[in-house]
Structure 1
Amino acid sequence: MDKPVADILANMDLYAEDQREHLLDALAVAREESPVLRTEADDGYYVVTRYEDVRTVCAHPEIFSSVQPGLRGVPVRLIPLDVDPPDHRLFREFLNRYFSRSFLLRYEEEIRRIAREAIAAFIDTGEVEFVHGFSVPFSAGSLARIVFATDNADLVSRGVAAVHRAALESTPDSFQAVAVLAVEAMAEVENSPAGREDVLAALTTATVDGRPLSTEERLGIVTTLLLGGLDTTRGMIVNIGYHLATRDDVEPILRAPNWWRGELDEFLRFEPTVSFMARTVTRDTELAGTPLKVGDRIAVHFYAANRDPQRFDRPDELVFGRATNPHLAFGSGIHHCLGRGFARIQLAIAFEELLARATNFHLKPGADIPRRAGVSLNSPAELHLTFDRRGSHR
């Protein structure tokens, strides 16, 4: 075993930058030798690495509570992410309508316009810093216009920065900064004209179990939408962009009709943008032979589960054409990602519009590709690409 891997296994820290480079190798060893690995980082927790064990945890919220889903603690509500049964169902029933594919597709042309505006800013130059030049303005713009229904560019810009910091640090201060923006967003909704039809406007009149939502619940939902809608889609667009620039087979795949119904799942399996989430043990139990006690914290590691060779052939390769792909990039169980449909729509439109204008993507020679540890493991923080422009846009 390599020394860096052995050192990580001795005390794994999922946020440590000096462990990032060898973390996946360490998780692979843990899957074989210690699938529920104990670490003393952040006051101690267990890392669940096997696919079936992750599924087990997600399927039993009565044993593994989501009330505190941030590994380092979250000082604000994250509804419905931090709600256990039976109340969880009440919030999901209200929210599901606004994230159904049929509801979101009414905004298709608006999402396409946002993509075209982002592309127009760089298409004549033949190069782009893909993170901040395309992924951030597109994903943030889509969330702002469709979910938040705002033209407040300053609020959106501050939201992007705050959410990215929370994804990297997951500290109480970083989550509190997102919550402050949620207060501002909610105030904007409450002061807007009547007639808005979006999830934020609905919060002002929605009821759960026959009562109006409390202020804390409203802000908890807004905070969750900020966290879930900004950094995750941004990261996936960037990850796919990297493969577009480094593999000849990716551009034809992205140009195929309905690629988002099949091959997108392989991108999601290979590099889920939410690497892990936390659970709290509510009663003494055992998982994969490891005894767990009430109050123990565990990190459900979706990234590691998606690389489990017991579930996926050639797990450490990006393999297109898999017959089935039951990845866990969107989680599992009752907390299966609320925004998964919105993410698929955004990703399909992002690359359809991009490839209508550009082709032949490559990494810019000599440019660094900085990556980070944390929840968004390994997603590039910067990605400088070159490309050839295609003919005039339709």
Structure 2
Amino acid sequence: MTDSHVEFFAQLDWFSRADGQRLAAELAWSRRECPVVHSGYDGGQYVVTRYDDLRTIGEHPDVFSSSTPGVQHVPVALPPLDLDPPLHRDFRQFLNPYFSRSFLQRYVPEMQRLADSLIDDVVDSGRIEFVSQFAIPFTAGSLARVVIDDDNETRMKRAIEAVTGVATGDQSAFERVAGVAAEIISERYAGPPGRDDVLQSLVSARVDGGRPLSLVEQLGVVTVLLLGGLDTTRGVIAHIGRYLAELPGFEQRLRRPDWVRHDLDELLRYTSTVSVMGRTVTKDNDLLGCPLKKGDRLAVHWQSGNRDEAKFEHADELWFDRRRNPHIAFGVGIHRCLGQQFARLQIEIAVDRLLRRLTRFSVVPGTAIKETVGVVAGAPEEMFLSFDINSG
């Protein structure tokens, strides 16, 4: 039986729907029997599946480099995602303030209005394709406003449309986003100082001993912020929509004023929408209990770590009675997600605005829920829900 598991990982394709259907069971086998298992994907990599090993990787960036942060090679620079210390620290230092909860409060009214307008579009029909009509446009519109904060509303509309295109898989949309960002950055260099937002930080920042960022680095940061913030938060919101329709009592839980404090971390642990990322070994070591060589590539499976039975009681259940929840849905160590507070804030606003207006969700009869595969795996990709108007 072991041979069939080893064979599965040897031929594993992270973007195959057939492999995706087996993956959870195979990862559970790996955690029990072979926690660092070899895969032939993209030239070869070791899949790391246990919680403690994943923490070790995150806490040793000098040994496990982020220079290849994906499970497949990416041909463009993605700072700070693909940076190691000390340069990584320079980038995070100027970006962190713009993703603090206190700074993001300025965008809350716009995010609320966006959610309300999306609900306005569907409320009279009694049904919604929850991902394309709510989760995608809400997260894309919110992210565009925070990353590309522009007073020119015509250009802002272009930015939102382009970011939404990125979220729906339109590869040419990256170029349109980059075009808008480059246009604004150019104006910021020519104009007077005084703005306080993400794009201005790219103009003002100094890294690596005092040099300014190149345009390639500036646009790389914009790309990372979009990649890191779109599918991930959208996935959690889409999961919540599914649970509203399928889990008895879930809507009542989310209507409690303290649900965020008690329940959100368990939702994040259980869904773990950023399922897997990449690292590269910088020196020979056996920190993970097996010999690794310099140059070996790793697939660090955060989702598997969050389902590790040795760390979490009822690991394969959405269990809200958990007293401690040291989940790694946002990663570990210096690369812990820059946008985690933004993600939490979007989820809170999405749930609040939905449940103010709508209630009694259910999956539309005769429709099936289609799920994502790849780096952001298992989230609803298409899901038709019906609902009632909340009259009370």
TM-score by length of 2: 0.92
Number of the residue aligned with 2:164 = 160
Distance 1:3 1:37, change over 3 A: closer
2:139 is aligned with 1:139: yes
1:179·1:219 contact (CA, 8 Å) conserved in 2? no
2:232·2:274 contact (CA, 8 Å) conserved in 1? yes
1:76-106 Cα offsets, whole Å, 9 max, x none, are 1211111111111111110111011111112
1:135-169 Cα offsets, whole Å, 9 max, x none, are 11111111112221254434433333335549xxx
- CA distance in 2: counterparts of 1:115 and 1:3, whole angstroms: 50
Number of the residue aligned with 2:374 = 374
1:190·1:201 contact (CA, 8 Å) conserved in 2? no
Distance 1:279 1:129, change over 3 A: same
Number of the residue aligned with 1:169 = none
Q: Which amino acid aligns with 1:198?
A: D
Number of the residue aligned with 1:68 = 68
2:182 is aligned with 1:186: yes
1:178·1:226 contact (CA, 8 Å) conserved in 2? no
Structure 1 stretches of at least 4 aligned residues deviating more than 6 Å after TM superposition: none
1:193-236 Cα offsets, whole Å, 9 max, x none, are 76543101321222224222221221111111111121111111
- CA distance in 2: counterparts of 1:229 and 1:190, whole angstroms: 24
TM-score by length of 1: 0.92
Number of the residue aligned with 1:199 = 198
1:229-270 Cα offsets, whole Å, 9 max, x none, are 211111110011111110122111211113222311111111
Distance 1:267 1:210, change over 3 A: same
Q: CA offset at residue 10 of structure 1?
A: 4.3
Q: RMSD of the alignment, in Å?
A: 2.1
2:147·2:222 contact (CA, 8 Å) conserved in 1? no
Q: CA offset at residue 4 of structure 1?
A: 7.7
Q: CA offset at residue 186 of structure 1?
A: 2.7
State the SS of the aligned residue for 1:352. Answer: helix
Distance 1:164 1:72, change over 3 A: farther
Number of the residue aligned with 1:305 = 305
Q: How many residues align?
A: 384
Gaps of 5+ in 2: none
Q: CA offset at residue 23 of structure 1?
A: 0.5
Number of the residue aligned with 1:21 = 21
Q: Which amino acid aligns with 2:229?
A: G
- CA distance in 1: counterparts of 2:288 and 2:49, whole angstroms: 10
Number of the residue aligned with 1:329 = 329
Q: CA offset at residue 5 of structure 1?
A: 5.4
- CA distance in 2: counterparts of 1:177 and 1:71, whole angstroms: 22
State the SS of the aligned residue for 2:72. Answer: coil
Number of the residue aligned with 1:170 = none
1:158-187 Cα offsets, whole Å, 9 max, x none, are 333335549xxxxxxx6x963663343232
Q: Which amino acid aligns with 1:265?
A: D
- CA distance in 2: counterparts of 1:255 and 1:58, whole angstroms: 35
After TM superposition, the structure 1 = structure 2 runs for residues 265-284 of structure 1, keeping only pairs within 5 Å, are 265-284=265-284
- CA distance in 1: counterparts of 2:269 and 2:168, whole angstroms: 22
Q: Which amino acid aligns with 2:164?
A: V
State the SS of the aligned residue for 1:78. Answer: coil
Number of the residue aligned with 1:212 = 212
Distance 1:267 1:334, change over 3 A: same
1:4·1:22 contact (CA, 8 Å) conserved in 2? no
2:239·2:380 contact (CA, 8 Å) conserved in 1? yes
- CA distance in 1: counterparts of 2:63 and 2:106, whole angstroms: 40
Q: What is the identity percentage for the equivalent residue pairs of Structure 1 and Structure 2?
A: 48
1:87-126 Cα offsets, whole Å, 9 max, x none, are 1111111011101111111221111111111111111111
Q: Which amino acid aligns with 1:178?
A: F
Distance 1:345 1:165, change over 3 A: same
Q: Which amino acid aligns with 2:197?
A: D
Distance 1:281 1:202, change over 3 A: same
- CA distance in 1: counterparts of 2:382 and 2:353, whole angstroms: 21
Q: Which amino acid aligns with 1:112?
A: Q
- CA distance in 1: counterparts of 2:342 and 2:222, whole angstroms: 16
More moved, 103-112 vs 294-303: 103-112
- CA distance in 1: counterparts of 2:119 and 2:261, whole angstroms: 24
2:14 is aligned with 1:11: no
1:296-345 Cα offsets, whole Å, 9 max, x none, are 11000001000000000111111112101111110010001000000111
